[in-house]
Amino acid sequence: MSNNMVADHAIRPVENDTIFTISAKASEAVLKYGAENVINSSMGVLLEDNGDFVAFKSVYSYLKDLDNPKIAAYASIEGDSDFLQAIKKACFKNHMPNAYIEAVATPGGSGAIHHAIFNYTNIGDSILTSSLYWDPYNTMCVENSRKLDTYNMFNGNGGLDIDAFKEKFDYHLNKQKRLLTIFNTPAHNPTGYSISDEEWDKIINILKQGASNKENKIIVLVDVAYIDFCDEKFDRRAFMEKFAGLDENILILFAFSASKGYTMYGLRNGALLCVTSKEEIAKEFFYTNLHSNRGTWSNGTKGAMRVLTDIINDEKVGNPFYEEREHYVKLLRKRADVFLEKSREVGLELYPYKDGFFVCIPCKNPLEACEKLMKNNVFAIPLQTGLRFAVCAVSEDKCMIAPKKIKEVLAECDE
Protein backbone atom coordinates (compact mmCIF):
# COMPACT_ATOMS: atom_id res chain seq x y z
CA MET A 1 0.00 0.00 0.00
CA SER A 2 1.09 3.58 -0.49
CA ASN A 3 1.57 5.57 2.69
CA ASN A 4 -0.91 8.26 1.73
CA MET A 5 -4.48 8.54 2.84
CA VAL A 6 -5.17 11.58 0.65
CA ALA A 7 -5.99 10.95 -2.99
CA ASP A 8 -3.03 11.22 -5.38
CA HIS A 9 -4.16 14.59 -6.74
CA ALA A 10 -4.02 16.03 -3.21
CA ILE A 11 -0.49 15.02 -2.18
CA ARG A 12 1.31 18.23 -1.16
CA PRO A 13 4.77 19.18 0.06
CA VAL A 14 5.22 19.50 3.81
CA GLU A 15 5.83 23.24 3.81
CA ASN A 16 4.22 26.41 4.95
CA ASP A 17 3.80 29.69 3.14
CA THR A 18 7.09 31.53 2.39
CA ILE A 19 5.62 34.87 3.41
CA PHE A 20 4.44 33.48 6.72
CA THR A 21 7.87 31.97 7.43
CA ILE A 22 9.81 35.15 6.66
CA SER A 23 7.34 37.23 8.59
CA ALA A 24 7.88 35.00 11.63
CA LYS A 25 11.65 35.55 11.35
CA ALA A 26 11.06 39.31 11.21
CA SER A 27 9.05 39.13 14.42
CA GLU A 28 11.93 37.28 16.10
CA ALA A 29 14.35 39.97 14.94
CA VAL A 30 12.11 42.69 16.37
CA LEU A 31 12.21 40.98 19.76
CA LYS A 32 15.99 40.61 19.60
CA TYR A 33 17.09 43.93 18.08
CA GLY A 34 14.14 46.26 18.70
CA ALA A 35 11.53 47.42 16.19
CA GLU A 36 13.53 50.54 15.30
CA ASN A 37 16.37 48.38 13.96
CA VAL A 38 14.30 46.05 11.80
CA ILE A 39 12.73 46.77 8.41
CA ASN A 40 9.91 44.28 8.03
CA SER A 41 8.56 44.62 4.51
CA SER A 42 7.31 41.05 4.29
CA MET A 43 3.57 41.31 4.95
CA GLY A 44 1.12 42.76 2.43
CA VAL A 45 -0.93 44.66 4.98
CA LEU A 46 -1.09 48.35 5.69
CA LEU A 47 0.66 49.40 8.89
CA GLU A 48 1.00 52.75 10.60
CA ASP A 49 4.48 54.27 10.74
CA ASN A 50 4.78 52.93 14.29
CA GLY A 51 4.00 49.41 13.09
CA ASP A 52 0.40 49.31 14.31
CA PHE A 53 -2.06 47.47 12.15
CA VAL A 54 -4.45 49.77 10.24
CA ALA A 55 -8.08 48.74 10.69
CA PHE A 56 -10.34 51.54 9.47
CA LYS A 57 -12.22 52.91 12.47
CA SER A 58 -15.15 53.84 10.24
CA VAL A 59 -15.51 50.19 9.18
CA TYR A 60 -15.17 48.60 12.60
CA SER A 61 -17.20 51.07 14.61
CA TYR A 62 -20.02 50.57 12.11
CA LEU A 63 -19.66 46.78 12.22
CA LYS A 64 -19.73 46.80 16.01
CA ASP A 65 -22.87 48.96 16.04
CA LEU A 66 -24.82 46.46 13.93
CA ASP A 67 -27.54 44.47 15.67
CA ASN A 68 -26.20 41.00 16.43
CA PRO A 69 -28.43 39.12 13.96
CA LYS A 70 -27.05 41.27 11.13
CA ILE A 71 -23.71 39.62 11.83
CA ALA A 72 -24.88 36.24 13.12
CA ALA A 73 -27.42 35.13 10.50
CA TYR A 74 -26.53 33.27 7.32
CA ALA A 75 -26.09 35.43 4.24
CA SER A 76 -27.75 34.19 1.05
CA ILE A 77 -25.69 31.57 -0.75
CA GLU A 78 -24.92 33.93 -3.64
CA GLY A 79 -24.48 36.95 -1.33
CA ASP A 80 -27.21 39.21 0.04
CA SER A 81 -29.02 40.93 -2.81
CA ASP A 82 -28.27 44.52 -1.79
CA PHE A 83 -24.61 43.55 -1.36
CA LEU A 84 -24.53 42.19 -4.90
CA GLN A 85 -25.83 45.53 -6.17
CA ALA A 86 -23.43 47.52 -3.99
CA ILE A 87 -20.39 45.48 -4.95
CA LYS A 88 -20.92 46.39 -8.62
CA LYS A 89 -20.73 50.06 -7.68
CA ALA A 90 -17.73 49.42 -5.42
CA CYS A 91 -15.92 47.62 -8.22
CA PHE A 92 -16.67 49.83 -11.24
CA LYS A 93 -17.56 53.18 -9.62
CA ASN A 94 -18.14 55.70 -12.42
CA HIS A 95 -16.67 53.40 -15.07
CA MET A 96 -19.37 50.72 -15.21
CA PRO A 97 -19.09 49.01 -18.60
CA ASN A 98 -22.21 49.04 -20.76
CA ALA A 99 -22.73 45.28 -20.64
CA TYR A 100 -24.47 42.52 -18.67
CA ILE A 101 -22.95 42.43 -15.21
CA GLU A 102 -23.58 39.90 -12.45
CA ALA A 103 -21.87 39.30 -9.13
CA VAL A 104 -21.54 36.49 -6.60
CA ALA A 105 -20.09 37.00 -3.11
CA THR A 106 -16.87 35.16 -2.25
CA PRO A 107 -14.55 34.97 0.77
CA GLY A 108 -12.10 37.70 -0.26
CA GLY A 109 -10.54 37.96 -3.68
CA SER A 110 -9.06 34.47 -3.24
CA GLY A 111 -12.47 32.83 -3.33
CA ALA A 112 -13.26 34.73 -6.52
CA ILE A 113 -10.04 33.58 -8.19
CA HIS A 114 -10.81 30.02 -7.12
CA HIS A 115 -14.20 30.08 -8.81
CA ALA A 116 -12.78 31.63 -11.99
CA ILE A 117 -10.16 28.89 -12.25
CA PHE A 118 -12.48 26.09 -11.20
CA ASN A 119 -15.47 26.96 -13.35
CA TYR A 120 -13.92 28.42 -16.47
CA THR A 121 -11.13 25.92 -17.15
CA ASN A 122 -10.72 22.17 -17.32
CA ILE A 123 -8.36 19.87 -15.47
CA GLY A 124 -4.94 19.98 -17.10
CA ASP A 125 -5.54 23.39 -18.72
CA SER A 126 -2.87 26.04 -18.72
CA ILE A 127 -3.82 29.38 -17.22
CA LEU A 128 -1.86 32.43 -18.26
CA THR A 129 -0.42 35.28 -16.21
CA SER A 130 2.65 37.53 -16.17
CA SER A 131 6.13 36.24 -15.22
CA LEU A 132 6.02 38.15 -11.96
CA TYR A 133 2.92 37.01 -10.16
CA TRP A 134 1.26 36.49 -6.80
CA ASP A 135 2.36 33.01 -5.80
CA PRO A 136 -1.08 31.73 -4.67
CA TYR A 137 -2.20 31.83 -8.34
CA ASN A 138 0.07 28.86 -8.75
CA THR A 139 -1.17 27.25 -5.51
CA MET A 140 -4.75 27.56 -6.76
CA CYS A 141 -3.86 26.08 -10.14
CA VAL A 142 -2.02 23.14 -8.56
CA GLU A 143 -4.86 22.62 -6.08
CA ASN A 144 -7.26 22.22 -8.98
CA SER A 145 -4.92 20.20 -11.21
CA ARG A 146 -4.40 23.13 -13.59
CA LYS A 147 -1.07 24.58 -14.74
CA LEU A 148 0.09 28.17 -14.56
CA ASP A 149 2.09 29.46 -17.53
CA THR A 150 3.59 32.92 -17.77
CA TYR A 151 4.71 35.45 -20.36
CA ASN A 152 7.60 37.86 -19.85
CA MET A 153 6.04 40.79 -18.02
CA PHE A 154 8.03 43.88 -18.98
CA ASN A 155 9.50 45.09 -22.24
CA GLY A 156 12.64 47.22 -22.40
CA ASN A 157 10.67 50.45 -22.12
CA GLY A 158 9.14 49.84 -18.71
CA GLY A 159 5.80 48.80 -20.20
CA LEU A 160 3.91 45.53 -20.43
CA ASP A 161 5.51 43.10 -22.89
CA ILE A 162 2.45 42.83 -25.12
CA ASP A 163 4.28 40.76 -27.74
CA ALA A 164 5.24 38.17 -25.15
CA PHE A 165 1.64 38.09 -23.95
CA LYS A 166 0.29 37.67 -27.48
CA GLU A 167 2.62 34.80 -28.25
CA LYS A 168 1.61 32.76 -25.19
CA PHE A 169 -2.04 33.75 -25.51
CA ASP A 170 -2.26 32.61 -29.12
CA TYR A 171 -0.35 29.43 -28.36
CA HIS A 172 -2.60 28.28 -25.52
CA LEU A 173 -5.84 29.46 -27.12
CA ASN A 174 -5.03 27.62 -30.29
CA LYS A 175 -4.19 24.49 -28.34
CA GLN A 176 -6.95 24.55 -25.73
CA LYS A 177 -9.71 26.56 -27.46
CA ARG A 178 -10.43 27.88 -23.96
CA LEU A 179 -8.07 30.15 -22.09
CA LEU A 180 -8.22 31.96 -18.78
CA THR A 181 -5.76 34.85 -18.48
CA ILE A 182 -5.23 36.61 -15.15
CA PHE A 183 -4.22 40.27 -15.05
CA ASN A 184 -3.44 41.64 -11.61
CA THR A 185 -3.93 45.34 -12.22
CA PRO A 186 -3.92 48.16 -11.25
CA ALA A 187 -1.29 48.16 -8.50
CA HIS A 188 0.05 44.74 -9.42
CA ASN A 189 1.19 42.45 -6.65
CA PRO A 190 4.25 42.18 -6.54
CA THR A 191 5.53 45.03 -8.74
CA GLY A 192 3.03 47.87 -8.32
CA TYR A 193 2.60 48.07 -12.08
CA SER A 194 -0.71 49.31 -13.52
CA ILE A 195 -1.57 48.42 -17.09
CA SER A 196 -2.16 51.67 -19.02
CA ASP A 197 -5.29 52.41 -21.04
CA GLU A 198 -3.25 52.20 -24.25
CA GLU A 199 -1.93 48.78 -23.24
CA TRP A 200 -5.48 47.65 -22.51
CA ASP A 201 -6.45 48.67 -26.05
CA LYS A 202 -3.73 46.44 -27.41
CA ILE A 203 -4.72 43.56 -25.12
CA ILE A 204 -8.36 43.86 -26.14
CA ASN A 205 -7.36 43.78 -29.80
CA ILE A 206 -5.54 40.52 -29.18
CA LEU A 207 -8.59 39.12 -27.39
CA LYS A 208 -10.80 40.15 -30.31
CA GLN A 209 -8.52 38.51 -32.83
CA GLY A 210 -8.72 35.31 -30.79
CA ALA A 211 -12.50 35.62 -30.61
CA SER A 212 -12.88 35.70 -34.38
CA ASN A 213 -12.68 31.92 -34.22
CA LYS A 214 -16.08 31.25 -32.66
CA GLU A 215 -14.90 27.93 -31.24
CA ASN A 216 -12.60 29.79 -28.89
CA LYS A 217 -13.66 30.73 -25.36
CA ILE A 218 -11.67 33.62 -24.00
CA ILE A 219 -11.90 34.40 -20.31
CA VAL A 220 -10.00 37.25 -18.71
CA LEU A 221 -9.86 37.63 -14.94
CA VAL A 222 -8.88 41.08 -13.71
CA ASP A 223 -7.71 40.84 -10.12
CA VAL A 224 -8.31 44.32 -8.67
CA ALA A 225 -7.34 43.49 -5.08
CA TYR A 226 -5.37 46.73 -4.64
CA ILE A 227 -7.40 49.10 -6.81
CA ASP A 228 -8.71 51.25 -3.97
CA PHE A 229 -5.20 52.21 -2.95
CA CYS A 230 -4.56 53.93 -6.27
CA ASP A 231 -4.66 57.69 -6.02
CA GLU A 232 -7.97 58.92 -7.54
CA LYS A 233 -6.09 61.37 -9.75
CA PHE A 234 -4.78 58.50 -11.91
CA ASP A 235 -8.34 57.38 -12.77
CA ARG A 236 -7.31 53.73 -12.66
CA ARG A 237 -10.82 52.44 -13.39
CA ALA A 238 -11.10 54.07 -16.83
CA PHE A 239 -10.12 50.83 -18.62
CA MET A 240 -13.22 49.08 -17.29
CA GLU A 241 -15.49 50.80 -19.80
CA LYS A 242 -13.52 49.25 -22.64
CA PHE A 243 -15.21 45.91 -21.88
CA ALA A 244 -18.50 47.03 -23.45
CA GLY A 245 -19.54 45.48 -26.75
CA LEU A 246 -17.06 42.62 -26.80
CA ASP A 247 -17.67 39.41 -28.73
CA GLU A 248 -19.92 36.88 -27.02
CA ASN A 249 -17.05 34.44 -26.63
CA ILE A 250 -15.03 36.90 -24.58
CA LEU A 251 -15.95 36.92 -20.91
CA ILE A 252 -14.41 39.42 -18.53
CA LEU A 253 -14.32 38.55 -14.83
CA PHE A 254 -13.32 40.74 -11.91
CA ALA A 255 -12.01 39.45 -8.60
CA PHE A 256 -12.96 42.14 -6.10
CA SER A 257 -11.54 42.07 -2.60
CA ALA A 258 -12.58 44.08 0.45
CA SER A 259 -9.41 42.96 2.25
CA LYS A 260 -7.22 45.96 1.52
CA GLY A 261 -9.60 48.67 0.33
CA TYR A 262 -11.89 48.24 3.34
CA THR A 263 -9.31 46.66 5.73
CA MET A 264 -11.57 43.61 5.92
CA TYR A 265 -8.70 41.11 5.47
CA GLY A 266 -9.77 38.86 8.34
CA LEU A 267 -13.49 39.18 7.64
CA ARG A 268 -13.23 37.43 4.26
CA ASN A 269 -15.32 39.58 1.97
CA GLY A 270 -15.16 39.90 -1.78
CA ALA A 271 -16.92 38.99 -5.00
CA LEU A 272 -16.51 37.56 -8.46
CA LEU A 273 -18.15 39.75 -11.11
CA CYS A 274 -18.71 39.18 -14.80
CA VAL A 275 -18.96 41.53 -17.77
CA THR A 276 -20.44 40.12 -20.96
CA SER A 277 -22.36 41.22 -24.04
CA LYS A 278 -24.76 38.31 -23.71
CA GLU A 279 -27.47 38.07 -21.08
CA GLU A 280 -27.41 34.26 -21.11
CA ILE A 281 -23.72 34.16 -20.29
CA ALA A 282 -24.28 36.47 -17.33
CA LYS A 283 -27.08 34.21 -16.10
CA GLU A 284 -24.94 31.13 -16.53
CA PHE A 285 -22.19 32.89 -14.57
CA PHE A 286 -24.59 33.61 -11.72
CA TYR A 287 -25.98 30.10 -11.33
CA THR A 288 -22.71 28.29 -11.82
CA ASN A 289 -21.00 30.39 -9.17
CA LEU A 290 -23.98 30.24 -6.82
CA HIS A 291 -23.71 26.46 -7.09
CA SER A 292 -19.97 26.66 -6.48
CA ASN A 293 -20.56 28.70 -3.35
CA ARG A 294 -22.92 26.07 -1.96
CA GLY A 295 -20.57 23.31 -3.05
CA THR A 296 -17.42 24.85 -1.59
CA TRP A 297 -18.00 27.11 1.46
CA SER A 298 -21.80 27.68 1.45
CA ASN A 299 -22.01 31.44 2.01
CA GLY A 300 -20.09 34.53 3.03
CA THR A 301 -19.57 36.77 6.04
CA LYS A 302 -22.87 38.55 6.54
CA GLY A 303 -21.72 41.43 8.75
CA ALA A 304 -18.93 42.34 6.34
CA MET A 305 -21.43 42.41 3.45
CA ARG A 306 -23.69 44.70 5.49
CA VAL A 307 -20.90 47.19 6.24
CA LEU A 308 -19.70 47.40 2.65
CA THR A 309 -23.27 47.74 1.36
CA ASP A 310 -24.06 50.61 3.69
CA ILE A 311 -20.77 52.37 2.92
CA ILE A 312 -21.71 52.31 -0.76
CA ASN A 313 -25.40 53.20 -0.38
CA ASP A 314 -25.48 55.58 2.58
CA GLU A 315 -23.44 58.77 2.52
CA LYS A 316 -23.57 59.03 6.29
CA VAL A 317 -21.67 55.75 6.49
CA GLY A 318 -19.64 56.30 3.35
CA ASN A 319 -18.27 59.79 3.86
CA PRO A 320 -16.25 59.21 7.04
CA PHE A 321 -15.00 55.99 5.48
CA TYR A 322 -13.78 57.65 2.27
CA GLU A 323 -12.13 60.38 4.28
CA GLU A 324 -10.31 57.87 6.45
CA ARG A 325 -9.20 55.77 3.49
CA GLU A 326 -7.97 58.82 1.60
CA HIS A 327 -5.60 59.59 4.47
CA TYR A 328 -4.00 56.18 4.08
CA VAL A 329 -3.88 56.35 0.29
CA LYS A 330 -1.81 59.51 0.69
CA LEU A 331 0.36 57.92 3.39
CA LEU A 332 1.10 54.98 1.12
CA ARG A 333 1.85 57.21 -1.87
CA LYS A 334 4.28 59.23 0.23
CA ARG A 335 6.17 56.09 1.26
CA ALA A 336 6.33 54.81 -2.30
CA ASP A 337 7.52 58.19 -3.61
CA VAL A 338 10.29 58.29 -1.02
CA PHE A 339 11.34 54.73 -1.82
CA LEU A 340 11.41 55.49 -5.55
CA GLU A 341 13.36 58.70 -5.07
CA LYS A 342 15.97 57.13 -2.83
CA SER A 343 16.28 54.17 -5.19
CA ARG A 344 17.10 56.57 -8.01
CA GLU A 345 19.66 58.30 -5.81
CA VAL A 346 21.53 55.11 -4.93
CA GLY A 347 21.02 53.51 -8.35
CA LEU A 348 18.77 50.69 -7.15
CA GLU A 349 16.88 49.35 -10.13
CA LEU A 350 13.14 48.72 -9.68
CA TYR A 351 10.45 47.14 -11.79
CA PRO A 352 8.14 49.91 -13.04
CA TYR A 353 6.02 50.94 -10.06
CA LYS A 354 2.77 52.83 -10.58
CA ASP A 355 0.52 52.26 -7.52
CA GLY A 356 -0.15 50.11 -4.54
CA PHE A 357 1.29 48.16 -1.65
CA PHE A 358 4.50 46.79 -3.21
CA VAL A 359 7.65 47.74 -5.05
CA CYS A 360 9.81 45.06 -6.57
CA ILE A 361 13.56 44.90 -7.12
CA PRO A 362 14.86 42.83 -10.05
CA CYS A 363 17.27 40.22 -8.81
CA LYS A 364 19.03 37.20 -10.30
CA ASN A 365 19.15 35.15 -7.14
CA PRO A 366 16.25 36.27 -4.97
CA LEU A 367 16.65 33.53 -2.34
CA GLU A 368 20.28 34.38 -1.69
CA ALA A 369 19.54 38.10 -1.59
CA CYS A 370 16.63 37.53 0.77
CA GLU A 371 18.85 35.53 3.16
CA LYS A 372 21.57 38.19 3.13
CA LEU A 373 19.03 40.95 3.70
CA MET A 374 17.63 39.09 6.69
CA LYS A 375 21.11 39.13 8.25
CA ASN A 376 20.94 42.90 7.87
CA ASN A 377 17.49 42.95 9.48
CA VAL A 378 15.69 43.76 6.25
CA PHE A 379 12.85 41.34 5.53
CA ALA A 380 11.53 41.14 1.97
CA ILE A 381 9.90 38.36 -0.04
CA PRO A 382 11.89 36.46 -2.70
CA LEU A 383 9.94 36.06 -5.93
CA GLN A 384 10.43 34.55 -9.37
CA THR A 385 12.95 37.20 -10.51
CA GLY A 386 12.87 39.81 -7.79
CA LEU A 387 12.45 40.87 -4.20
CA ARG A 388 9.11 42.22 -3.08
CA PHE A 389 9.30 45.14 -0.68
CA ALA A 390 5.97 46.03 0.98
CA VAL A 391 5.94 49.81 1.32
CA CYS A 392 2.48 49.39 2.86
CA ALA A 393 4.10 47.91 5.96
CA VAL A 394 7.17 50.18 6.34
CA SER A 395 7.35 53.73 7.71
CA GLU A 396 8.42 56.64 5.53
CA ASP A 397 11.65 56.93 7.53
CA LYS A 398 12.54 53.34 6.84
CA CYS A 399 11.49 53.63 3.18
CA MET A 400 14.11 56.36 3.02
CA ILE A 401 16.99 54.16 4.18
CA ALA A 402 15.93 50.79 2.76
CA PRO A 403 17.03 51.32 -0.89
CA LYS A 404 20.65 51.95 0.14
CA LYS A 405 20.72 48.86 2.38
CA ILE A 406 19.23 46.72 -0.37
CA LYS A 407 21.62 48.11 -2.97
CA GLU A 408 24.59 47.21 -0.76
CA VAL A 409 23.40 43.68 -0.15
CA LEU A 410 22.72 43.11 -3.84
CA ALA A 411 26.25 44.32 -4.60
CA GLU A 412 27.59 41.72 -2.14
CA CYS A 413 25.61 39.11 -4.06
CA ASP A 414 27.29 40.23 -7.29
CA GLU A 415 23.98 41.43 -8.64
CA-nearest of 329, 299, 263 to 61 is 263
For a copy of itself, the closer of residues 125 and 355 by Cβ is 125
d(CA 185, CA 196): 9
> CA distances (Å), 78 to each of 101, 105, 251, 273, in order?
14, 6, 20, 12
Shortest distance, CB of residue 297 to a copy of itself, whole angstroms? 4
Among 77, 148, 221, 329, binds a copy of itself (CB under 8 A): 77
Sheet holding 386-390, edge to edge: 358-362, 386-390, 381-382
By the 10 Å C-beta count (0-12 exposed, 13-18 middle, 19+ buried), 316 is classed as exposed
Using CB under 8 A as the binding rule, the residues of this chain from 5 to 24 that contact a copy of itself are 5-17, 20
Question: Is 237 in contact with 93 (CB distance < 8 Å)?
Answer: yes
For a copy of itself, the closer of residues 185 and 263 by Cβ is 263
Using CB under 8 A as the binding rule, the residues of this chain from 259 to 298 that contact a copy of itself are 259, 263-268, 276, 280-281, 283-285, 287-288, 290-292, 294-298
Interface map 127-166 toward a copy of itself (x if CB under 8 A): ---------x--xx-xxx----------------------
Using rule CB under 8 A, residue 74 touches a copy of itself = yes
Using rule CB under 8 A, residue 55 touches a copy of itself = yes
Cα 275 to its chain centre, rounded Å, is: 19
Using rule CB under 8 A, residue 107 touches a copy of itself = yes
Residues whose CB is less than 8 angstroms from the CB of residue 14 and which lie 6 or more positions away in sequence, other chains included: none
Using rule CB under 8 A, residue 185 touches a copy of itself = no
d(CA 207, CA 218): 7
For a copy of itself, the closer of residues 253 and 387 by Cβ is 253
Shortest distance, CB of residue 222 to a copy of itself, whole angstroms? 16
For a copy of itself, the closer of residues 164 and 290 by Cβ is 290
Judging by DSSP bridges, how do beta strands 270-276 and 100-106 pair with one another?
antiparallel
Shortest distance, CB of residue 251 to a copy of itself, whole angstroms? 5
d(CA 143, CA 262): 28
Q: Please, how many CA atoms are within 13 Å of residue 362, restricted to the half-sphere of its CB? A: 12
For a copy of itself, the closer of residues 106 and 343 by Cβ is 106
Residues whose CB is less than 8 angstroms from the CB of residue 111 and which lie 6 or more positions away in sequence, other chains included: 268, 270, 272, 296, 297
The dihedral formed by the CA atoms of 19, 22, 26 and 32, expressed in degrees to the nearest 10? 160
For a copy of itself, the closer of residues 34 and 266 by Cβ is 266
Among 57, 330, 334, 344, binds a copy of itself (CB under 8 A): 57
Shortest distance, CB of residue 102 to a copy of itself, whole angstroms? 12
How many chain residues bind a copy of itself (CB under 8 A)?
A: 89
Using rule CB under 8 A, residue 178 touches a copy of itself = yes
Using rule CB under 8 A, residue 122 touches a copy of itself = yes
Shortest distance, CB of residue 387 to a copy of itself, whole angstroms? 21
3-state secondary structure 86-111: HHHHHHHHHHCCCCEEEEEEECHHHH
- What single DSSP character describes residue 74? P
Using rule CB under 8 A, residue 302 touches a copy of itself = yes
The string of DSSP codes covering 141-207 is HHHTT-EEEEE--B-TTSSB-HHHHHHHHHHHHHHHSEEEEEEE-SS-TTT-----HHHHHHHHHHH
Using CB under 8 A as the binding rule, the residues of this chain from 194 to 223 that contact a copy of itself are 214-215, 217, 219
Shortest distance, CB of residue 413 to a copy of itself, whole angstroms? 29
Return the range that interacts with a copy of itself (CB under 8 A); candidates 58-66, 325-333, 346-354, 388-396: 58-66
Using rule CB under 8 A, residue 251 touches a copy of itself = yes
CA-nearest of 107, 128, 357 to 137 is 128
Using rule CB under 8 A, residue 35 touches a copy of itself = no
For a copy of itself, the closer of residues 20 and 234 by Cβ is 20
Shortest distance, CB of residue 106 to a copy of itself, whole angstroms? 8
Among 41, 110, 184, 185, binds a copy of itself (CB under 8 A): 110
Question: Is 59 in contact with 321 (CB distance < 8 Å)?
Answer: yes
Using rule CB under 8 A, residue 376 touches a copy of itself = no
